[in-house]
């Protein structure tokens, strides 16, 4: 066998008929390509290039050898790609909001993996919208006002907001009436429903709300659990906090969310077995919790 490390530099130099351009393509130096080609020539015992200063040209033997090497390298690349395609068939990449990922999906995901051992799950927690054309994402869970054609979109969960606080907030003296919130430290989010809540509670706001503001519910709820203020909890992601007692619901008043949860996928892959299995599992988990 010839030195395998020399075959790619040789193939590139033969295809481009230039050691310099081959070096640029492979991120090597001109000298490195030249040495690899010289080592290959020494091994096969024939000149593969004629050299005229910095210009090179394939010999007849070099042209024949280059064609065989190129075909062999293409076969190796195709074999590797086929293996990658088979792995991708069983790898499920899910894009999801950080709040839903940390507070709902991740504590339950082990059950999906146990039920589907052949599927390798990759979770991408991000607030950014997915570019399905550029990213290898199979399904996104998004919280918003869909649908988003031409993508395949399925609405699967609505939501509501209500005030929550740490039981230790204000030394345990929690607000007893929605009007008491006007004197309390309020924690806000980019999706701010405080005005809707006060309207539903019949409380008039005499001044703009102020206080901490976060771009994701996870951080707002963590701040509330530390006793830093009162936040609006979202029913879909706050269940464990209420069960553990790290947060307490203050009033029975709630306001419906304008946004809902959606499964979003390219239409071409929306019914792929791994995507369908994940959607059905999420819906089953939600149904079991009701």
Q: What is the DSSP letter of 158?
A: -
Does 76 score more than 90 pLDDT?
A: no
* 268 and 136 belong to one structural domain: yes
Both 165 and 237 in one domain: the answer is yes
Q: What is the pLDDT of residue 205?
A: 86
Query: In angstroms, rounded to a whole number, what is the distance separating the alpha carbons of residues 175 and 59?
Result: 89
Same domain, 121 and 136: yes
123 lies in the same domain as 140:
yes
The mean pLDDT value of the chain amounts to 91
Q: How many domains does the chain have?
A: 3
> Across residues 191-217, what is the average pLDDT?
87
Residues of the chain with pLDDT > 90, as a percent, come to 73
- Residue 14, judged by CB atoms within 10 A of its CB (0-12, 13-18, 19+), counts as buried
- Specify the 3-state DSSP secondary structure of 37: helix
Range of the domain at 243: 160-256
| Same domain? 53 vs 189 | no
Number of CB atoms found within 10 A of residue 206's CB: 6
Shared domain check, 251 and 166: yes
Q: Which CATH number belongs to the domain containing residue 170 in this structure?
A: 3.40.190.10
Domain boundary among 31, 64, 85: 85
Q: What is the pLDDT of residue 69?
A: 92
Position 87 pLDDT exceeds 70:
no
Contact 164, 220 (CB under 8 A): no
pLDDT at 191: 82
Is the pLDDT at 119 greater than 90? The verdict is: yes
- Condensed to tens digits (0 to 9), the pLDDT of residues 25-47 reads 999 999 999 999 999 999 999 99
Cβ atoms within 10 Å, residue 272: 16
CATH code of the domain covering residue 23: 1.10.10.10
Residue 2 CB partners (closer than 8 Å, separation 6+): 40, 43, 44
Q: Is there a single domain that holds both residue 11 and residue 77?
A: yes
Confidence of residue 67 (pLDDT cuts 50, 70, 90): very high
Per-residue pLDDT of 152-181, as tens digits, reads 999 999 999 999 999 999 999 999 999 999
Answer with the residue of higher pLDDT: 284 or 289: 284
Same domain, 50 and 72: yes
Whether residues 202 and 252 share a domain: the answer is yes
Per DSSP, the three-state class of 208 is: coil
Contact in structure between 240 and 107 (CB atoms under 8 Å): yes
Cβ neighbours of residue 117 closer than 8 Å, sequence gap 6 or more: none
CB count, 10 Å around CB of 33? 25
In the listed set 64, 85, 106, which residue is the last one of a domain according to the structure? 85
Q: Which two tokens stand for residue 128?
A: 């950014």
Same domain, 212 and 196: yes
């Amino acid at each position: 066998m010839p030195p395998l490390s020399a075959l790619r530099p040789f193939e590139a130099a033969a295809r481009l008929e230039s050691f310099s351009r081959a070096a640029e393509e492979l991120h090597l130096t001109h000298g490195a390509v030249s040495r690899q080609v010289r080592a290959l020539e020494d091994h096969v015992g024939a000149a593969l290039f004629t050299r005229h200063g910095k210009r090179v040209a394939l010999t007849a033997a070099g042209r024949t050898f280059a064609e065989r090497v190129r075909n062999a390298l293409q076969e190796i690349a195709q074999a590797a790609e086929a293996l990658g395609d088979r792995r991708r068939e069983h790898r499920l990449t899910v894009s999801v909001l950080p709040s839903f990922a940390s507070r709902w999906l991740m504590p339950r995901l082990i059950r999906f993996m146990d039920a589907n051992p052949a599927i390798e799950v990759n979770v991408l927690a991000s607030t950014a919208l997915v570019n399905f054309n550029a990213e290898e994402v199979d399904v996104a869970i998004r919280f918003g006002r869909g649908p988003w054609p031409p993508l395949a979109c399925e609405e699967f969960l609505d939501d509501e907001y209500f005030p929550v606080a740490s039981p230790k907030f204000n030394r345990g003296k929690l607000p007893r009436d929605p009007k008491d919130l006007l004197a309390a430290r309020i924690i806000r989010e980019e999706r701010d429903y405080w005005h809707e809540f006060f309207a539903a509670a019949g409380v008039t706001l005499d001044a703009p709300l102020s206080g901490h503001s976060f771009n994701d519910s996870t951080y707002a709820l963590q701040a509330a659990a530390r006793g830093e203020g009162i936040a609006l909890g979202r029913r879909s992601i706050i269940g464990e906090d209420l069960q553990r007692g790290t947060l307490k619901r203050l009033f029975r008043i709630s306001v419906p969310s304008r946004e809902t949860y959606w499964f979003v996928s390219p239409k071409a892959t929306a019914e792929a077995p791994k995507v369908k299995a994940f959607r059905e599992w999420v819906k089953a988990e939600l149904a079991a919790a009701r």
